Amino acid sequence: MLSVWDMVSATAQNIVLLVLLLLPGLVTGAIVLRGYAAGRLLWALIWAHRWVSLVFAMLIAVSVAIGTGLTAQERGLREGSAKAAEPFDLIVSAPGNEITVMFAAVYLQPTDMPLLDGPTYQAIADHPRVTLAAPIAFGDSYKGAPVVGTTPQFVTHLAADLAAGRMFATPEEAVIGADVPLQVGDDFSPAHNIGEAAEEGAHGDFAYTVVGKLPANGSPWDKALLVPVESVWEIHGLANGHTADWDGTLGPPFDPAFFPGTPAILVRAEALWANYALRSEFSTERTMAFFPGAVLARLHGLMGDVREVMSGLAILTQVLVAASSLAALTLLTRLLSRRFAVLRAIGAPRRFIFALTWSYASLLIVAGAAVGLILGLLTSRVISAVISARTDILVQAGLGWPEFHLVAGFVSVTVILALLPAALTLRRPVVSDLRS
């Protein structure tokens, strides 16, 4: 049986699970409403008490929105951070903390890091399995955005086709991310350091001219300004990585004797399997090699506890609202007791009153859950926009199957619980309700 289930597509599995979660509520409704059509009376009842009905439905909606928003937001953050790290196959740096290096080289968080020297870079670049060894040099900025020194090959690796312009070809040219507020042809002067420590004018009158723009990729690199690594070295008073007879061609090959150093190197192998061999080979006493994706997976694993807490909070919220709904339904039946007593006095069957009471509560529950899904989607998108603006990582939180399953289970449980206040309605004395 399990083997058959494993052969079914993920979408089909999710649909089956959704139906199974809704089934108890649907079966309950079919049994309760069998033989009765209380539609017109039900709508009249809701309209007569529309404000009370609206408050009850919104209670359900807010609880559903909180539950679905929490789980959707956590998933969106994981997916966004993973997508941002996709272009970075293997990172080599000086020995240290992998997470710190990943945040610096992949997510462009300002960090002081030791440099890899020329012979180390040359050994990596000359490796027969390495197809790309791009230095990533950071430390300068422009209006708070990171200025990153690298090679044309690295820019091409990030985006095979530019959104506008061309690749930089001289040390005074730059290619910028999609969200940098500059256009092709604009000039800018870099500041030394980044953030509050930025020193404007520290590099004299040196200026770059923007010649190209990258397409958006939903990562911090959308706000980065990519420049030739040679110019980064030169404006800091260092050699440019080439000998005196350099012909001006940017990028490798670099001369180890004139290579000032780089905090990190992006390495890409000729084949996926070769990356694992390179990681082992470049993990030495002088260098640290790691997969950003693997480090991110470990971080997500550590965040698993947070995810469980958020899921637990979502479930706890649903349980509390279900209990609150039960209490509110009991109060609603007391509010409607006189109307039900009139129906019983004119001969309405007890089971019809039971069905009408249950239908009233269930309709409000289903309507509240539907509105809650919409509110959850809107809320998660607003929060995603805030997180994206703060982290520069594109977070797109949308409702998925886990949220639909959560709401389906909540609806089934709550409509079954609604049987209790409906049963309590039948136990109320008709005469006293008519007099009240």
When computed from its CA atoms, the radius of gyration of the chain, rounded to whole angstroms, is: 32
CA nearest 290: which of 24, 104, 80, 18? Answer: 104
Neighbours of 291 (CB within 10 A): 18
Q: For residues 113 and 183, what is the distance between their CA atoms, to the nearest angstrom?
A: 31
Tens of each residue's pLDDT in the chain, 436 residues = 556 656 667 788 788 888 888 888 888 888 877 776 666 777 877 787 788 788 888 888 887 887 787 778 777 878 888 888 888 889 999 998 888 899 888 888 888 888 999 999 999 999 999 999 999 998 888 888 899 999 999 999 988 889 999 999 999 999 999 989 999 999 999 888 786 766 776 677 889 999 999 998 888 899 999 999 999 999 988 998 898 888 888 989 999 999 999 999 999 987 778 888 899 999 888 999 999 888 888 877 766 556 666 666 666 666 666 666 666 666 666 665 555 555 555 555 667 777 777 888 888 888 988 998 898 888 888 888 887 777 777 777 778 888 888 888 888 888 888 888 777 766 554 444 444 5
Q: Where are the domains of the chain?
A: 13-83+303-435, 90-290
Amino acid at 415: V
Residues in CB range of 304: below 8 A, 6 or more apart: none
Q: For residues 134 and 132, what is the distance between their CA atoms, to the nearest angstrom?
A: 6
pTM of the model: 0.75
Contact 382, 73 (CB under 8 A): no
Tell whether omega for the bond before 253 is within 30 degrees of 0, i.e. cis: yes
* Residue with the two structure tokens 């809704």: 22
- State the DSSP string of 9-42: -HHHHHHHHHHHHHHHHHHHHHHHHTT---HHHH
